[in-house]
Structure 1
Amino acid sequence: MPDASGPVTTETPPTVPVERRGTNRRISPLLRRILLVNMLPPFLLAATLLYLDQYQDGLLAAEVQGLRTQARIYANGIAEAGVRIQDDRATLVPEVARPLLRRLTEPTAGTQAKLFDNNGLLVADSRVREGPGGAIVAEPLPPPSQPGPVASTLGRLYEKVLDWFPRPRVRGPAVVVDEAPDAPSFDWQPDLGPDRREELRLALEGGVNPYVRRTADGRLLVSVAEPARRANQPVGIVLLTREAREVDQRVMEIRGSVLVLFVMALALTVALSVYLARTLASPMLELAASAASMRAGKGRGGSVPAPLMQRQDEIGILARALQSGTNALWARVDANERFAADVAHELRNPLTSVRSAIETLRRVEKPDQQKRLLAIIAEDAVRMDRLIGDISDSSRVDAELSRSVAEPVDIGPILATLVELHNTTHGEGDPRMEIEAPAHLVVRGVEGRLVQVFRNLLGNAVSFSPPSGLVRVRAKPTGGVAEISIEDEGPGIPEAKLEGIFDRFYTERPSGERFGQHSGLGLSISRQIVEGLGGRIMAENRRNPDGSVAGARFVVRLPVV
């Protein structure tokens, strides 16, 4: 986390609209997207399974094949029992064939059989028999099955849905269903007769195609024609018509099953989508409300609800990150407030001194006193200039480090140069410096800021060292870090101040130093830089064998390359 020493910016960030709970949206956009994605597979499945034309064609083909077999059985029975052989010619006997055709047809409900002779004339009809006195009685057919309201609705819905999709290409011979409004019922028969010789010939040879139609009353009828032969001689044609109720029933059962499964899958999909949306959208809205509370300055301690932070999924990670960011934000705000208060306090002292000196200067007339007051004003101006410069530098450290890219820096030559520069320019009685460091020690950092850290620490050690004292600089690699220590022979650091020494405006200075020579920000800036580069800085006291304090030691640890 960046240090909270940055200045309080006066720029107003752009206003970002905040979504609040209680908006007019009944369904969140996230829920709509989840529903759309989750409902698409059930709809595609339903559309695919409801597309039952090929299945219906297969059932009709089986129905036609079964009816053909039944018609052949009837034709063979007529050819065996309803024919008279005379001069090796087989002749159909209508008086025998009529009751025989009725008896063959009776066991099969919803079936009508007709018998035509070789000339295409109707000879017998299974629905027609002679009543008393020679009257012709036509037996009624069973009424068409009336589907219930649910089945009718499903059927209409299926047909409407089916119209939206293109018809598939059927492999193999397709069964064509005549669905014209005027499609004939059981009274249909092939167009045969003495004047239709070619059609009659084809019928006697078994060349009449099956005829499947849907009548106006909803019956699905299948008609087939088979020739009756005796000794390879055609004696007539059997036309068999049957209502294919089982085909409609099976197709309707499958449609109903598919629609029930579709409704169940759809309900389950909607329920799971709503649950998923609630587990995602609702927590996000709560997090948005928490962010709005932060923006309004509320919820300083716990802006994010505790249940969200206790979750072990991505929402919990986001909630904890938001709360951590909130705590860091409030910590930065508090630090900025403390920083502003400290700056005001530190500037107030020299300003008060300058104001007092100016007020006194107006009243004194002696030149020597005026010179002394002017000197005080000049010293306080220098002090304020140094203080403002250090404050400005402290406020820029975090921003500069966040923009800078840490690069490999060889601190061996840097430390050697600083030590050599001091030993070359120090005056008589000033402390000396010694260095124990490898020629090359590469760390990751920003060169200019590292130089500033070492200068602050060396300057601090020199200022606390006794006359002609010794400052030792040591550097060595230790594991994955480089450890740099700077030791002096000064009075050491009070134990209670070992941590506070890095606070801003720390003013514990050596005796004899003129007031105002340091701003109290050097060590604080050094800690900002080191921690901003991923390192650590600490202070401790050196001890003599007898346990007395021998001086102070500052240790800097930086990651090596």
Structure 2
Amino acid sequence: MPEAPLLKPEDGSPVQEHRRRWVSPLLRRILLVNALPPALLAAALLYLDQYQNGLMAAEVEAMRNQARIYAGAIAEAAVRVQDDRAVLVPEQARPLLRRLVEPSPNTQARLFDTAGLVVADSRVREGVGGAVVTEPLPAPASRGALSSSLSGAYEWMLNLVPNRSANPVVLDTTPDAQSFDWQPDLGPERQAELRLALEGGVTPYIRRTPDGRLLVSVAEPARRGAQAVGIVLLTREAREVDERLFEIRASVLGLFCLALVLTVAVSLYLARTIATPILQLAGAAAEMRQGKGRTGSVPSALLERRDEIGVLARDLQAAARALWARIDANERFAADVAHELKNPLTSVRSAIETLRRVEDKAQQHRLLSIIANDAVRMDRLIGDISDSSRVDAELSRSIAEPVDIGPILAVLVELHNTTRKPRDPEMILEAPDKLVAMGVEDRVVQVIRNLLGNAISFSPEEGHVWLRARETATEVELTVEDEGPGIPDARLEGIFDRFYSERPSGERFGQHSGLGLSISRQIIEGLRGRISAENRRDAEGKVLGARFVVRLPRG
């Protein structure tokens, strides 16, 4: 699949396109995450079911007590006894009922006889000339423009809140719910319910009128002794319930608006401190991809931050530098490979050209021997180069596991001592039987074999090579020591360079490619370990041989 270009000719880079957006996706997510909890809390508080039920229950209980008082007063003062029966006297009940209701301007009381007929109504009185006048309920106090706007917004939000009320009384919100004016003659269903009041009262009737008023009605029987003489129906506009709920919900909405403003401010701050730096890092990555900013294109302000963004910026800068270092190393490696291959190829070409002109059989045989040796040398060199190139890729795919290298060391030492020639160096092992380190077994064995082979090649005849191993607090330490001439002090680090080769004087040229120690360091550092070289010295400072130290993480 072809890779998408980083820059669009008509629109600019994706980073610049992202910056031109009014609201970034990250800012939208931050706003959503920050605003959702207070919104859910505000929505939950808007229900206020328990509080509303408590207010309604208190209102109903107060009206029941008031209706009982009215019923008791009427039963005592507006009833006459005739033939041992208590009879309701309407002429006495009407003025008494109006006087009882006078302290409660938002209340209407109606008195029914036992047959369900209206006997008295606190809102109906005789006017001039005997005309019947019906007094309306006082209108609710008018609110200001701001309160009206808040009330409108409040009602709109209430319509959005699902109704999950669990009121102990029935709330009738149908459009044809009885208006208070208020109540014309009750229908058959209500009359039947009122007649139930003669046996002890009915369920309170709570309704919402089309103009938004909340009305509560209760019925209580008026009794003279054990005989029911009538029914008192008390209806009141529960303004305080609505007003208290409105005040609390307005407070909740006000707090939510304040929380929303703070949430937006915090979200903008987070977006400025998170989204903008991320865009800057994306721009720096884009410049690195285009080959710019070789010395580092991450803004210094991001590198100085002490939070996660600063960690990301420093890691990106370190990754970029490591990438450029790897590119430079590959360039040097390619140049070194070309140089190392050029020498044997030049030798082969010269030998072939000379071979064409020489007719002496001995010289021809010698030239053919040179060509063969150079071919073997190039084959060995190419193999080592291939192995060095595979090490990084293989270690990046491999996972370090606990490796018990104690048996491995014992096998290598026993194999050498069993197969060595009479005058070859003897190998001595000083290590515990169990020694666990983190690594890749095949590559660890390769490093040990390289170091042992190197030590054997530099050791004198009938000399000794020591292989020691021990555990420290966090590492496993391997030491390979020989009795050879040692390493020049100036080359203690240089011997790990690619193609560096400093062989014993008697060894034939071309037997080693100079990549063994370089590959060993490459493997050990890939396993998060360390390898170093030093000289063994006696008390007077004389060099006794070389020492290579390998440290791997403890398993």
Q: Which TM-score band (shorter chain)?
A: 0.7 to 0.9
1:218-267 CA-to-partner distances (Å, cap 9, x unmatched) read 33333444444456565554443322222222232233233333434444
Deviation for aligned residue 1:176 = 3.8
Q: Which of 35, 55, 62 lines up with 1:59 in the alignment?
A: 55
Question: SS of the counterpart of 1:179?
Answer: coil
Contact 2:49 2:166 in 1 (8 A): no
CA distance in 2, matches of 1:25, 1:107: 65
Shift of 1:151: 0.7
2:463 aligned partner: 471
After superposing the two structures, state which structure 1 stretch, 442-451 or 291-300, moved more.
442-451
The residue that corresponds to 2:153 in the other structure is 153
Match of 2:419 among 409, 413, 421: 421
| 3-state DSSP of counterpart to 2:139 | coil
2:351 is equivalent to residue 351 of structure 1: no
Amino acid across the alignment from 1:475: L
SS at match of 1:297: coil
Q: For the Cα contact (< 8 Å) 1:442–1:560, is it kept in 2?
A: no
**Cα distance per residue 1:429-454 (max 9 Å; x no partner):** xxx41333248755556666566545
Q: Is 2:98 the partner of 1:102?
A: yes
Structure 1 residue 363, shift from structure 2 partner = 5.5
Distance 1:509 1:182, change over 3 A: closer
Higher relative CO (Cα under 8 Å, sequence separation at least 6) belongs to: 1
Residue aligned with 2:137, SS:
coil
Q: 2:481 aligns with which of 473, 483, 486?
A: 486
Alpha-carbon deviations, 1:523-551, whole Å to 9, x = none?
A: 32343344445554433334466544444
Secondary structure at 1:506's aligned position in 2? coil
- Point out the more displaced range, 225-234 or 215-224: 225-234
1:499: which partner in 2?
493
Distance 1:459 1:116 in 2: 120
Q: CA deviation at 1:347?
A: 2.1
Query: Which of 181, 185, 191 lines up with 1:186 in the alignment?
Result: 181
Structure 2 residue runs of 5 or longer lacking an equivalent are 7-13
Q: Which moved more, 1:261-270 or 1:438-447?
A: 438-447
How far apart, in 1, do the equivalents of 2:372 and 2:378 lie?
Answer: 10
| Contact 1:473–1:484 (CA under 8 A) maintained in structure 2 | no
Please give the alpha-carbon distance, in whole angstroms, between the structure 1 residues aligned to 2:149 and 2:531.
Answer: 85
Q: Scaled by the length of structure 1, what TM-score is found? A: 0.77
Correspondence for 1:293: 287
Q: Please give the secondary structure, in 1, of the residue aligned with 2:467.
A: strand
Tell me, yes or no, if structure 1 residue 522 matches structure 2 residue 516: yes
1:68 to 64, 69, 72: 64
Counterpart for residue 327 of structure 1: 321
- Other-structure match for 1:240: 234
Q: 2:17 is paired with a residue of what secondary structure? A: coil
Deviation at 1:334?
A: 1.5
Q: 1:14, CA displacement in angstroms? A: 7.7
Letter in 1 for 2:416: L
CA contact (8 A) 2:171 2:208 kept: no
What's the secondary structure of 1:216's corresponding residue?
A: coil
Q: By how many angstroms is 1:408 displaced?
A: 2.6
SS of the equivalent of 1:20 reads: helix
* 1:386 aligns with one of 380, 383, 395: 380
1:303-452 alignment, distance < 5 Å? 303-361=297-355, 373-401=367-395, 407-409=403-405, 410=407, 411-424=409-422, 432-438=424-430, 441=433, 443=435, 444=437
1:337 deviation in Å? 1.1
Shift of 1:211: 4.0
Distance of 2:243 and 2:382 partners within structure 1: 95
SS at match of 2:463: strand
Change (3 A) 1:130 1:526: closer
In structure 2, C-alpha distance between the alignment counterparts of 1:381 and 1:121, rounded to whole Å: 128
In 2, Cα distance between equivalents of 1:534 and 1:48: 55
Does the 8 Å CA contact 2:116/2:195 hold for their aligned counterparts?
Answer: no
Instruction: Give the match's secondary structure for 2:170.
Output: coil
Which structure would you say has the larger Rg?
A: 1
SS at match of 1:423: coil
What's the CA shift string for 1:170-199, capped at 9, x where partnerless? 5xx523435333623234266599xx9988
Compute the displacement of 1:158 (Å). Answer: 0.8
**Separation of aligned partners in 1, 2:330 and 2:185:** 103
Task: Report the count of equivalent residues.
Answer: 533
TM-score in terms of structure 2 length: 0.78
CA RMSD of aligned residues (A): 4.2
- Deviations along 1:298-320, one digit per CA (max 9) or x if unpaired, are 33333444444444444444444
Q: Which residues of structure 1 form unaligned runs of 5+?
A: 1-12, 427-431
Checking the alignment, whether the CA contact within 8 Å between 2:217 and 2:234 is kept in structure 1 is yes
Q: Percent identity?
A: 64
Is the Cα–Cα contact under 8 Å of residues 391 and 521 in structure 1 kept in the other structure?
yes
- Give the match for residue 11 of structure 2: none
Classify 1:14/1:421 alpha carbon distance in 2 versus 1 (closer, same or farther; 3 Å).
Answer: farther
